[in-house]
Amino acid sequence: MFLCPIHRQPLSIAVAMLSLALLIAMPLMAATDSTKTSLSIVGPWEVSTLEPSRAGYLFLRMQVAEALISTDLEGKPSPGLAERWQVSADGLDWRFFLRPQARFHDGSPVTAASVVMNLQRALSQPGVLSMAPVTGIIAAAPGEVSITLSKPYAMLPMLLAHSSAIILAPAAYNDKGHVRKMLGSGPYQLVRQTLPQQLELALSPHWQGKQPAIKQIHYLSASRPETRALIAESHQADLVFGFDPASMQRLRNNPKVVVKEADLARTITLKLNSGHRFLNNAETRQALSLAINRAGIAKGILRTPELAADQLLPPGIAQWHQTGAGFPKLHTDLERAKALLSAQGWQPGPDGILQRNGERFALKLNAFPDRPELPIIATALQEQFRKLGIEIKVIITNSSEIPLGHRTGTLEMGLVPRNFALVPDPFVALNQDFKTGGGDWGAMQWQNSQVPALLEKIASDTDPDAQARYRHDIILTLQQELPVIPISWYRLPVAVHPQLKGVKVDPLEQSYYISDMYWSSK
């Protein structure tokens, strides 16, 4: 009884304080309203710096910066900052003619000198341009850039389309040569940044090309796939990229969410140390491949059965994907796998693990968690190989342990989500991976001269029919020799606002084609 009055008083104090909490919160609750000319994008990519070699890919995709060369959805070169180009008869001198009306976002004209400065910088930084045998980059004439090579390299336009070779205004760099402002020449300019999470873009007044319908863009990096999926479900962003398999399935089943997907030139492969005494013949590697239940992994882990990889590159990469009826596809056959190993002298031990000359068939498999499905696939492989009689120890570590293990020769197996679209043509990544001596993410201690020779021919031969033959022979040899074992392909899913039209999903991840998008009332 004595507490009754005091009960009422603190209760009103409590109500007042909770109301205060709501008052504090209310201004924060104001939701963003999209107008017909604005677009909000959410993706997993963080921008911790403006440096082209590290974050140029996002500014290229968002059409803030341009490279000399662009590419279409099929990966064919198209005009970028260079409206046209020509190559000398001997293939050693390339001339690029700049778009005359091109302006940087500070209003200064795009000159041959500024392009040369950017390309020379790109050549000295980690990137792809150094893969070409470049001997000189000069301003040959106003609006004309010349790149000379020591030997013909047909893929030069593809390297110039890479994000590390974007062209920025001279004023973008400080006196130490670091990028202090993002001053590109694309339709959109950076107006505000909260690194590493947020970018605000607006249509550049200096853009002379076709005027896009989208005038303002807001980009937010949300590193957690769960957050991105919830944002997509509640339509709090117009374009949302990248989901984990579980969220993806939920989004597909949600009738209110429009999901567009494109096959990526990215494949989860099992990188093998072909110099290892257990793995140094093709039959053993074929046995490993036959033991992998790709359909199970694609259905159970990736929740998309059609992603089971029957060859290195997916159907979306038409130039490299082999569709001929006689082309041998990778498949599962555990009994055949056991027979192949038995023929190599491997016999089951008392614990079911194969033995040969007193040695157990035990290997280490390195995987990394940057893509959440990788550790799960690694453990699935562990179980599938155990059925074959191979003991696998899964090591979840940093991604760099795989190239490091390649260099030191200590890597046994590595699970790799290999991106074959480092530049728009998968040739460049394939050349990195399967050239003589192998590559950090590709073949390791693999003895083969045929594939490097075919890659050399593609680099120098411009005949399309001959190139198609070389591509077929390369994929066939890789399919038979299996220096890396393809496991599954990838798809890029994008959740799109139902009223946003003109959305194209680029399988090569070169552009979001924002300038082609528009809002529709339907």
Partner 1 sequence: MIKVLSHLLLRRCLQAVLVALLVSTVSFFLMHSLSGDLAFRIAAGRYGYDMVTAAAAEAVRVELGLDRPLLQGLILWWQQLLQFDLGDSYLSSAPVIEEIREQFGHTLQLALSALVLSVVIALPIGLIAGLNPHGWLDRVSLTLSIILRAFPPFLLGILLILLLSSKLGITNAANASHEHGGLFLPALTLALSLAAVSSRVARDAMVEVRRSAYFNFARTKGLSDLLALLRHGIRNAAVPVIAYLGVQLVFLMEGVIIIESLFAWPGIGHALAHAVFGRDIPMIQGTAIVMGLLFVLCNTLVDIACMLADPRQRYLASRRADA
Which tokens hold the place of 479? 């399919």
Minimum CB distance to partner 1 smaller for 17 or for 113: 17
Residues in the chain: 522
Shortest distance in whole angstroms from residue 126 CB to partner 1: 4
Minimum CB distance to partner 1 smaller for 203 or for 374: 374
**Residues sharing a CB contact under 8 Å with residue 22, sequence separation 6 or more, in sequence order:** none
Shortest distance in whole angstroms from residue 30 CB to partner 1: 6
425 within 8 A of 161, measured Cβ to Cβ: no
Minimum CB distance to partner 1 smaller for 310 or for 412: 412
Neighbours of 169 (CB within 10 A): 23
Q: How far is CA 42 from the centre of its chain?
A: 17
Minimum CB distance to partner 1 smaller for 18 or for 141: 18
Shortest distance in whole angstroms from residue 32 CB to partner 1: 5
Minimum CB distance to partner 1 smaller for 191 or for 195: 195
DSSP result, 117-164: HHHHHHHHSSSSGGGS-EEEEEEEETTEEEEEESS--TTHHHHHTSGG
Q: Is 358 helix (H, G, I), strand (E, B) or coil?
A: coil
Minimum CB distance to partner 1 smaller for 11 or for 468: 11
Shortest distance in whole angstroms from residue 9 CB to partner 1: 5
Minimum CB distance to partner 1 smaller for 143 or for 483: 483
Shortest distance in whole angstroms from residue 447 CB to partner 1: 20
Taking phi over 0 as left and psi of -120 to 50 as alpha, with beta for the rest, 482 belongs to left
Q: Which is it for the CA torsion 111, 116, 121, 127, positive or negative?
A: positive
Minimum CB distance to partner 1 smaller for 211 or for 223: 223
Residue type, 36: K
Shortest distance in whole angstroms from residue 436 CB to partner 1: 16
Shortest distance in whole angstroms from residue 95 CB to partner 1: 29
**Range list of H helices, 351-449:** 373-388, 401-408, 427-434
Which spans of this chain sit near partner 1 (rule: CB under 8 A)?
2-3, 5-7, 9-11, 13-14, 17-18, 20-21, 24-25, 28-32, 42, 46, 48-49, 51, 53-54, 126-127, 178, 194-198, 220-224, 226-227, 230-231, 233-234, 236, 368, 370, 397-401, 403-404, 406-407, 417, 419, 422, 432, 439-441
Q: How far is CA 351 from the centre of its chain?
A: 41
Shortest distance in whole angstroms from residue 92 CB to partner 1: 25
Minimum CB distance to partner 1 smaller for 21 or for 453: 21
d(CA 254, CA 315): 27
d(CA 199, CA 194): 6
d(CA 373, CA 109): 46
d(CA 368, CA 485): 17
Shortest distance in whole angstroms from residue 521 CB to partner 1: 21
Q: Which of 277, 271, 375, 389 is nearest to 340 (CA)?
A: 389
